[in-house]
Amino acid sequence: MLVTNSPRFTCDDAVRTAEEHFNVHATASPLPSERDQNFLLRTDSGERLTLKIANSEEQLAVLEYQNELIRRLSDGCPDLKFPRILGLIAKAGPYFARLLTWVEGTCLANITPHSDELLASLGRALAQIDRALTGFSLPAAHRTLRWDIRHADLAVCIWTCYRTTAAGLWMRHLRSGSASTGAHCARA
């Protein structure tokens, strides 16, 4: 259940991938991600795009499912903004790559306070999404994700692994502020 095969692309790798597989010439900056790797691409014309590099263990069927989900939401929720999928899923070494349009906005976690108006708007959006996804299911949707609340017991397993591995011990050592050089790494 631990993510062990996340891509480790540099921004230069992302630029090369965008050029080779999507004929897009842009600069790249990293975006956060849990199991994959994402980049914000900025073209010379100012267009912003998202390059998504999937974990090497990700199945093509899962990415196709995600793309179909985005299409269904775009069609079923015309009042909401979703990215458009640009081109086909490309094979970039052991990874799959996808290119999507960028959707401008502010992450809900970065908005304070969460006003009644904002929460009501969120509720309306979720209702539209729920309606649009009624009856939608593909086999690739049925997989175990460690952040899915239905699998909260996995957190115990992951935490136990973290507490008992050398990497976990090293990370706790770094957080304690007592690590001054990388020389301690060999002992962790």
Least confident stretch, 12-16, 59-63, 91-95, 145-149: 145-149
Residue 113 preceded by cis peptide, ω within 30: yes
- pLDDT at residue number 139: 74
- pLDDT at residue number 153: 74
Each residue of 135-180: pLDDT tens digit? 988 776 766 666 667 767 776 776 676 666 655 555 555 555 544 4
Can you tell me the distance from the alpha carbon of 87 to that of 18, in angstroms, rounded to the nearest whole number?
11
| Those residues with Cβ within 8 angstroms of residue 4's Cβ, 6 or more apart along the chain or in another chain | 57
Burial 134-157 (b: 16+ CB within 10 A, else e): eeeeeebeeeeeeeeeeeeebeee
Q: What integer best gives the mean pLDDT of the chain? A: 84
Q: Which of 51-55, 104-108, 149-153, 180-184 has the highest mean pLDDT?
A: 51-55
**pLDDT at 91 exceeding the cut of 50:** yes
> For the chain, what percent of residues have pLDDT higher than 70?
75
Can you tell me the distance from the alpha carbon of 50 to that of 18, in angstroms, rounded to the nearest whole number?
10
pLDDT band at 88 (very low <50, low <70, confident <90, very high): very high
- Across the range 2-14, mean pLDDT stands at 85
- pLDDT at residue number 186: 32
> Could you tell me the pTM of the whole model?
0.75
**Count of positions (residues) in the chain:** 188
> Which residues partner with 85 through β-bridges?
100
Phi, psi dihedral angles at 13 (to 5 degrees): -60, -40
- pLDDT at residue number 140: 67
**pLDDT at 57 exceeding the cut of 80:** yes
- The residue whose two tokens read 């014309």 is 45
Each residue of 9-49: pLDDT tens digit? 999 999 999 999 999 999 999 998 878 999 999 999 999 99
Phi, psi dihedral angles at 66 (to 5 degrees): -60, -40
Which domains can be identified in the chain, with CATH numbers? 11-108+128-141 (3.30.200.20), 149-187 (no CATH)
- pLDDT at residue number 137: 83
If phi > 0 it is left, if psi is from -120 to 50 it is alpha, else beta; for residue 135 that is left
